[in-house]
Amino acid sequence: MDIKTLTTPLSEEAVASLNVGDFVLLSGMIVTGRDRVHKYLFSELPLPDEIPFELEGAVLYHCGPIVRREDAGYRLIAGGPTTSQRVEMYEWRIIKEYGLRGIIGKGGMGEKTLQAMKEAGCVYLHTISGAAVYLADRIKRVVDGWKVEEFGAPEAMWLMEVEDFPAIVTMDASGNSLHKGVAEKSMGVYKELLGGGA
């Protein structure tokens, strides 16, 4: 299997060279964000300088980690992906407003996000669902957190440094989606199994 290596922040060219089915290893800084972060960014649209981390060219990881607070800072215990579809109503605006180049998550996203990715130059990187320990071992450190008290640790935005973090491109910047393909294929079998009921 061919492996492509990527380093954040991602350029438009790097994103454009990725295709559905590519296996990638990502290194550099990434930020996390899930339900609360998306609702907040979408509704309040804070200015980039009100957010402590750079989002231009950034990769946003849909993840609510287990983080332990220690004297020296934060330690990550487990950090796999959360279901991306829940932020489908928000993501298109966040990609466009803040200039994200990559989304890491699981389960894929819908048409609105696919369209925004095509227009703005962004890809969806599907990592290994549930592999929280394996992935935590590829997160070198938690640098800092934003909204930790207000949103709670699982919902905060965390800045993390990753090394050789594995993912598969399942939605690319040309409008292709592996998830659409799987759904269409299963639709045929589904209709057959329901015997014309659907």
User: Helices marked H in 110-177 — which ranges?
Assistant: 111-120, 132-136, 148-151
Using CB under 8 A as the binding rule, whether residue 108 contacts other proteins is answered as yes
Using CB under 8 A as the binding rule, whether residue 183 contacts other proteins is answered as yes
Nearer to other proteins, 143 or 178 (CB): 178
* Rounded distance between C-alpha atoms, residue 20 and residue 103, angstroms: 14
**Residues annotated catalytic, as ranges:** 38
The two tokens of residue 34 are 């899930």
| DSSP at 106 | B
Residue 163: in which H helix or E strand, if any? strand 157-171
Number of residues that bind other proteins (CB under 8 A): 55
Binding mask 41-60 for other proteins (x = CB under 8 A): --------------------
Out of 28, 57, 154, 175, the only residue in the binding site for other proteins (CB under 8 A) is 154
Residue 11 phi, psi dihedral angles, 5° rounding: -90, 165
Using the structure block, give the residue that is written with the tokens 């659907």. 198
Q: How far is the CB of 36 from other proteins (least distance, A)?
A: 8
Binding mask 5-44 for other proteins (x = CB under 8 A): ----------------x-x------------x--------
For residues 58 and 161, the answer to whether their CB atoms sit within 8 Å is no
- Helices 35-44 and 88-98, packing angle to 10 deg: 60
Residues near other proteins, by CB under 8 A:
1, 21, 23, 36, 63-66, 68, 77-80, 82-83, 85-86, 106-108, 126, 128-137, 151-155, 166, 168, 170, 178-179, 181-183, 185-187, 189-190, 193-198
